[in-house]
């Protein structure tokens, strides 16, 4: 296939891959199916189409001999840049962090050449994705690049960079998080998520009772202002101080109100973990069970190892209770892949012992079975 043919196909398929609406773009069902079934490892077809379309448009801009032709292709380039930025936002917004990192890394050279004034936005998004993956070194590297390039008038990105810095410092050095919050809190309006998060960080060195009171107040404030993900992040912290019954109520709130798929996954896992601890495994419905399998596959592909292990334990417990050997074998093989890659001998040894007790192994389904997809 010639380069020209690839460009022709890319331009033709962009309009059916990116579906535009008044609120932005969404990926077509075919493209989402690639994600949901895990066929891609790094690049998906939307990213590849964008790169070919950029190459084609750059070439045509360079060879256009008329003002009309140049204007036409410049409009086309602006449209591609809009699709590219919206695409990256949609990946992060749907918690597809591996895909976001891969796509930004692939597209960044194009953006650096074509749209360098907006390069800081891509640096911010990849920093956010790396932070969600708990790779703070990469996150800090890209946050610094974004911070250096971000214009002062882009208040929204400035606030986002600040909140990312706080989240990283909270994990690495809580006293520095407190110091940063104290220094910068009053730069932000009191009704912003950045201001609320500043107060959350300032509570880190308070006595337990006083801190809980602050967190409860900030959770209510965040929810009243519509910052549901911020409010639910506070709920996750508060839940560590609650009994299982109160935890379930909070987790149901997260599941019902959050727009972050990652937070919904966390809440679903913690909810089912609490039900098992309470001896209420029969309250886990078939829909809950299927949702856990989808979450398990998502965590496997996104490489969230700690949550993956937690979800693995829950599914194993349910499968043992239901005597579902097919599922046991399926998650055993998937878990083994993760543990070997991470040199996690503790979990590998633990589940090797457990699998030896499972009966009728000869009838077990192989990897790639009915459980290996999201609905």
The answer to whether position 191 is within a domain reads no
Structural domain span for residue 333: 294-375
The answer to whether position 349 is within a domain reads yes
Report the share of the chain in percent with pLDDT over 70. 91
pLDDT at residue 134 greater than cutoff 60: yes
What average pLDDT score do residues 107-131 get? 97
The answer to whether position 203 is within a domain reads no
Under 8 Å between Cβ of 288 and 314: no
* pLDDT tens sequence across 167-208: 999 999 999 999 999 999 999 999 999 999 999 999 999 999
* pLDDT tens sequence across 281-300: 999 999 999 999 999 999 99
* pLDDT tens sequence across 23-33: 777 776 555 54
The answer to whether position 356 is within a domain reads yes
Give the chain's domain count. Answer: 1
pLDDT at residue 366 greater than cutoff 60: no
The answer to whether position 307 is within a domain reads yes
Under 8 Å between Cβ of 248 and 275: yes
* pLDDT tens sequence across 66-86: 888 889 999 999 999 999 999
Report the share of the chain in percent with pLDDT over 90. 73
The answer to whether position 308 is within a domain reads yes
What average pLDDT score do residues 326-348 get? 93
The DSSP secondary structure of 303-356, one letter per residue, reads T-HHHHHHHHHHHHHHHHHHT-HHHHHHHHHHHHHHHHHTT-HHHHHHHHHHHT
What average pLDDT score do residues 51-67 get? 90
The answer to whether position 334 is within a domain reads yes
The answer to whether position 309 is within a domain reads yes
């Amino acid at each position: 296939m010639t380069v020209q043919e690839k460009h022709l196909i890319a331009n033709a398929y962009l309009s059916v891959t990116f579906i535009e609406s008044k609120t932005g773009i969404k990926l077509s069902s075919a493209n989402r199916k690639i994600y949901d079934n895990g066929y891609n490892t790094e690049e998906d077809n939307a990213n590849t189409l964008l790169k070919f379309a950029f190459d084609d448009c750059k070439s045509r801009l360079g060879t256009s001999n008329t003002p009309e032709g140049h204007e036409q292709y410049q409009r086309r380039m602006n449209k591609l840049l809009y699709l590219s930025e919206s695409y990256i936002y949609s990946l992060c917004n749907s918690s597809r962090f591996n895909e976001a990192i891969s796509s930004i890394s692939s597209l960044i050279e194009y953006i650096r050449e074509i749209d360098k004034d907006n390069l800081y936005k891509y640096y911010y998004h990849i920093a956010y994705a790396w932070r969600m993956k708990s790779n703070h070194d990469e996150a800090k590297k890209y946050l610094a690049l974004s911070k250096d390039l971000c214009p002062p008038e882009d208040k929204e990105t400035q606030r986002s960079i600040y909140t990312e810095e706080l989240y990283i410092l909270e994990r690495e050095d809580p006293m520095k998080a407190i110091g940063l919050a104290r220094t910068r809190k009053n730069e932000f309006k009191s009704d912003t998520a950045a201001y609320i998060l500043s107060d959350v960080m300032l509570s880190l060195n308070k006595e337990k009772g006083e801190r809980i009171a602050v967190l409860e107040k900030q959770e209510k404030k965040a929810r009243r202002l519509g910052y549901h993900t911020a409010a639910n992040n506070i709920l996750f912290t508060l839940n560590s101080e609650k009994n299982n019954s109160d935890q379930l109520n909070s987790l149901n709130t997260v599941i019902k109100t959050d727009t972050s798929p990652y937070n919904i996954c966390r809440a679903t896992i913690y909810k089912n973990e609490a039900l098992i601890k309470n001896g209420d495994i029969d309250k886990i419905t078939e829909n809950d069970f299927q949702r856990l399998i989808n979450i398990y596959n998502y965590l496997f592909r996104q490489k969230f190892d700690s949550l993956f292990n937690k979800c693995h334990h829950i599914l194993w417990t349910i499968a043992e209770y239901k005597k579902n050997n097919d599922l046991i074998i399926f998650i055993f093989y998937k878990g083994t892949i993760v543990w070997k890659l991470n040199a996690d001998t503790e979990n590998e040894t633990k589940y090797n012992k457990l699998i030896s007790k499972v009966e009728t192994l000869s009838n077990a389904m192989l990897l790639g079975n009915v459980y290996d997809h999201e609905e």
